Structure 1
Amino acid sequence: MGFFTKPGAEPVRTNAPVTRERIKELLEAAEWRVGTDDDGDVYGIWDSHLFYFFLMGQQDEILQIRGRYAGTVPLSEQTAVLPFLDEFNRDRIWPKVYSRPDDSETGIYSEVSTDLEHGVADDQLDQLLKCGIFTGIQFFDHLSEAHPEWAPQTEDASA
């Protein structure tokens, strides 16, 4: 309770285990389109970037929000992007950002992970989901500004 908060004025919070269903419900409540893959993992696309919401750990108690950059970084540029990623990670707490080679290009990822072993209230889970999405998008925008040659291609609305 805060110093100036009257008793009984606080919202009632009930912690419950994090589940894929709760994640999907909260994202849909924000009127975002999401889907579920064959493994039951929830995913969606924000600003052209694909985000997945994984549950990990022995009891699915760790929430991991992983975004994949929609731009194209050629495999030949993987070592060129590493100092940029390192600087970002050094200066910020989250999201963690990294690269890894995919089939024909270098995948760039953002990641926010949280241990929710003791459960989480809906408003807290909603905040974590938004944090993972929006900090990932901020990083992807930062990367596109620094390297416009890698930025996602946008469709021309006048065409």
Structure 2
Amino acid sequence: MPNGHSHDAAPAGNKLTIERLEESLERLGYAFVEDDDTPNVLRARFDHYPFTFAVAGEHSHILVVRGRWDELLSVQQKLEATRLCNHWNMERMWPKVYVRRENDSALGVYGELVFDYYYGVSDEAIDRAITCALSTTVAFFSSLSSQVSDQDEADT
């Protein structure tokens, strides 16, 4: 119990909830659906990229915004995709980007931002987090599209 604070429960103040996340997306004018299989997860598409918005953590205090590039890569492209992701991660703060195997023959490329709201969060901060996550992740996907296209042309 450092500094006399217990970490057993998140403070009761402006707690992050799935309802507040829904309100923020509505306020920003975004369409979304609830995930029928996973509680505390919303799904949406932005610039044709699929995104998930999740309230996570032991005390439901973490906002996770994750987008997936709309193209799947072959497993043979793993090294190049990883190189592009690593370069982005070294040069920019947001989003964290990575390559993940989707099945035996395909790779997905993801962008993700995580926000910790253990001590509460304002509506404005949720709005800013969503806007930041979407704009930076879509910027990465746009960059990736042009770089993969450039690489494909160089290979032919």
TM over 0.5: yes
- Asked if 1 retains the 8 angstrom alpha-carbon contact of 2:64 and 2:113, the reply is yes
C-alpha separation between the residues in 1 aligned to 2:21 and 2:91?
29
Q: Which one has the bigger helix percentage?
A: 2
Runs of 4+ in structure 1 deviating by more than 6 angstroms, as ranges, are none
CA drift at 1:68: 0.5
Query: Which residue in the other structure is 1:119 paired with?
Result: 120
Once residues 22 and 35 of structure 1 are traced to their aligned partners in structure 2, the CA distance between those partners, rounded to angstroms, is 14
Match of 2:31 among 30, 33, 39: 33
Deviations 1:47-68 (A, max 9, x none): 1111111122111111111001
CA distance, structure 2, for counterparts of residue 52 and residue 33 of structure 1: 12
1:48 and 1:145 map into 2 onto residues whose CA distance is: 16
TM-score, normalization by structure 1: 0.81
Secondary structure of the corresponding residue to residue 147 of structure 1: helix
Counting matched residue pairs gives 137
TM-score, structure 2 normalization: 0.82
Matched to 2:77, the amino acid is E
Q: Counterparts of 2:106 and 2:57 in 1: how far apart (Å)?
A: 30
Unaligned runs of 5+ in 1: 1-14, 151-159
SS at match of 1:109: strand
Q: Residues 130-145 of structure 1: matches in 2 within 5 Å?
A: 130-145=131-146
1-side partners of 2:68 and 2:22: how far apart? 19
The one-letter code matched in structure 1 to 2:117 is L
The question of whether the paired residues in 1 share the 8 Å contact of 2:28 and 2:127 is answered with: no
1:149 to 1:35, Cα distance in 2 relative to 1, 3 A:
farther
Aligned to 1:157: none
Give identity over the alignment, percent.
Answer: 29
Structure 2 unaligned segments of length 5 or more: list them. Answer: 1-12, 152-156
